[in-house]
């Protein structure tokens, strides 16, 4: 084992211990996929609060094995996200070997490669990236993972084959109907619901509105749902609008997000069990089959 291999494995094991990661395949993927191959040449700009972007002192690949976002396009505040955040979300999706996973907002491919390692050659990852430059880089970066298909396009419009899991790596104000429709029985969707502007000094990263990641699980024609973790990510174009953003902000400010138990798609009058009530869906305190 080379020195860098050892650093990568210690990074994975530290994340696993700190986060309590359950998936051994995820930990192994973090220990073997070379993050430096997906973030351009060093030195790298890393996003650290409250300083903002700070350059690594050199281009030693060991520098990328820290729990920090790394800039892909600092002018647009687009980053390869913090490993602790994304690993926690992937772990919550219960991805297994042989699964089909859709990754919306693949960037340059690092976390799509992680997912590809987890599902293995018997599985499949459909990675969708809107930015043409990032998508072109991801195609090159993912050649070692034939089980990953990169789609250059809009993940809010692309209808992939039915999926065991869908990971959305950008902030939304509402779920897209075809994401919910595209879940296999028992399938899971992880979607960041964001709308709150974080307090200073983080507020200067204006694209990265704050909120929480929502885990949705299909149960027949119903959907269990619960909020998992606070997060701030850039916009998901096509899954945001001012009406839903206003409702989301009001709901977060009112509190009680931890009480959400289901995502309801059928029409019903608003009542005291509704945490966020919108025309197309409701995040409810009711259990999914009540």
Confirm whether 289 is domain-assigned: no
Q: How far apart are CA 165 and CA 149, in angstroms?
A: 15
Confirm whether 79 is domain-assigned: yes
Higher pLDDT, 82 or 200: 82
pLDDT tens for 45-66 read 999 876 789 999 999 999 999 9
Question: Which of helix, strand or coil describes residue 174?
Answer: coil
Q: Please tell me what DSSP assigns to residue 262.
A: E
pLDDT band at 158 (very low <50, low <70, confident <90, very high): confident
Which position has the token pair 């709308």?
A: 195
In the 3-class helix/strand/coil scheme, how is 46-74 assigned residue by residue? EEECCCEEEECCCCCHHHHCCCCCEEEEH
pLDDT tens for 80-125 read 999 999 999 999 999 999 999 999 999 999 999 999 999 999 999 9
Give the global pTM: 0.94
CATH number, domain with residue 171: 3.40.50.150
Domain of residue 182, residue span: 73-284
Confirm whether 32 is domain-assigned: no
Q: Give the count of domains, the chain.
A: 1
Confirm whether 90 is domain-assigned: yes
Confirm whether 3 is domain-assigned: no
Confirm whether 52 is domain-assigned: no
Please compute Rg for the chain using Cα positions. 19
Confirm whether 270 is domain-assigned: yes
Confirm whether 63 is domain-assigned: no
pLDDT tens for 120-147 read 999 999 999 999 999 999 999 999 999 9
């Amino acid at each position: 084992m080379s020195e860098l291999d050892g650093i990568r494995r210690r990074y994975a094991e530290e994340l696993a211990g700190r986060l309590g990661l359950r998936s051994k395949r995820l930990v192994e993927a973090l220990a073997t996929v070379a993050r430096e191959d997906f973030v351009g040449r060093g030195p790298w700009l890393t996003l650290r609060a409250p300083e903002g972007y700070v350059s690594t002192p050199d281009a030693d690949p060991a520098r990328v094995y820290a729990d920090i976002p790394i800039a892909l396009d600092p002018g647009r505040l687009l980053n390869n996200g913090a490993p602790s955040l994304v690993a926690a979300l992937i772990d919550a999706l219960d991805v297994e070997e042989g699964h089909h996973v859709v990754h919306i907002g693949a960037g340059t491919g690092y976390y799509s490669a992680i997912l590809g390692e987890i599902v293995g050659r018997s599985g499949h990852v459909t990675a969708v990236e809107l930015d043409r430059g990032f998508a072109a880089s991801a195609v090159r970066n993912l050649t070692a993972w034939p089980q990953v298909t990169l789609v250059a396009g809009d993940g809010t419009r692309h209808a992939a084959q039915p999926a065991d899991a869908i990971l959305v790596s950008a902030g939304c104000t509402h779920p897209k109907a075809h994401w919910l429709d595209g879940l296999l029985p028992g399938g899971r969707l992880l979607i960041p619901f964001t709308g709150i502007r974080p307090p200073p000094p983080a507020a200067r990263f204006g694209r990265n509105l704050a909120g929480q990641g929502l885990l949705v699980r299909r149960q027949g024609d119903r959907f269990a749902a619960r909020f998992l973790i606070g997060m701030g990510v850039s916009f998901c174009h096509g899954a945001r609008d001012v009406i839903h953003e206003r409702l989301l902000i009001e709901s977060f400010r009112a509190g009680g997000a931890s009480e959400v138990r289901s995502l309801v798609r059928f029409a019903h009058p608003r009542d005291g069990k509704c945490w966020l009530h919108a025309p197309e869906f409701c995040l409810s305190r009711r259990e999914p089959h009540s």
